[in-house]
A and B are shown apart, each in its own frame.
Chain A
Amino acid sequence: MRRTHLLLPVIAVLLVAGFCVTVLVGFEFRGTIEHATAGWIEVAERTGAINVVTAIYLNARLFDTILEVLVFAVAVLGVHFYLTTRGRPERVESIPESNVIRIAADVLLPLILLVAIYVVVHGHLSPGGGFSGGVIAGTGLLLTAIAVGTETVAARFGPRLIERLEWAALLGILVLGLVPVLVGRTPLSDLLPPGEPGRIASGGSLLLYNGLIGLKVLIGSWVIVRHFVEHRGEI
């Protein structure tokens, strides 16, 4: 009996070790390979953004980003569907609060939101963008929820408003991608002018996309976090 118990781990360790060795050997390292970096720099210059990564994922490979926003939307949808159709547990203990947290949250929330807006708006100028900014803002809301309870924060917004805003952001992104068709260009191409690199008003429609994505991620992460807190189950 002992021996069959060990069989699975031994096979697993052997296979996994073999896998790691195979991948490392087959990779054929040759140091850094200089590839298309010059080409990407040119992409960024044509877009008018300083942040090359943003120029890539919001312009050259915009379709990937749209799919990724949809992935996020599906996650929010799924969490919402499964947790709200379960029926609420009878007692939802609130997280014990202390004065320190409440006062700190009071002071920190506006700062966090300001940082989030900064990150989103400067997405094409420095590292950041819609996703990071949205998550920062969502975390700020979570902090406030820890301090005063999720119910209070949720009551602030009104449930309908949040949902409508979220889907409006998603539809906005899709419509923004389709608008070039009306003007006769291919979908997902950039309509607005590049502008002067280094200023906020540059980079074509990158700012718009970042803003919409930031809004969507903010609301989405708040919804997920709120459902996880309110609908935590018991074994």
Chain B
Amino acid sequence: MFDRDRKGDKGFDDAPDTRAAMPPRSTPPQGARSGSGDVAVIGRSIQINGDVRGDEDLRIEGDITGTVQLKNANLTIGREGRVKADVYAKSITVDGTTEGDLYATERVHVAANANVRGNITAPRVGIEEGCRFKGSIEMDQEEVDKALARVNMSKAGGAPAKASEARPAQPGSVKGAATN
């Protein structure tokens, strides 16, 4: 379980997006779509092996293996979503299954039906009772700041570089609370 401790050499690379794996606009609603203010969706039938990147909110209901980088956007891993990747986003909500480290500049929320294996690094972490979680959560503000800086993530922006460890919560979420 913890043997996926993938610290170290994960670099942020410049690999192209795997847009080829997404269906064209003419496909039915489950295909990826986006627009200003809209949430892009990776539907249940979509499988992507590689890097997923963007600057808009994204909901994943399909299978992703690789990395997910949404520099200034919110990611939701829906009930059907299965992500085997390190994830970098402004905020991350997990209602499905993830295996990998989660980095957020604002917050990570793990819902009651989620199954998460990996380390969480975020200023705020919410864990709902009933979820399955194995991994670490850093509650030391200083260490979270360092970890986010190491992956080149901060509220000032910046692209993720590589991975490391976890972080606390503040009142209202798990360093304070979470939802429950």
A associates with B? no
* B interface residues (Cβ-Cβ under 8 A, vs A): none
Instruction: Spell out A's residues near B (CB within 8 Å).
Output: none
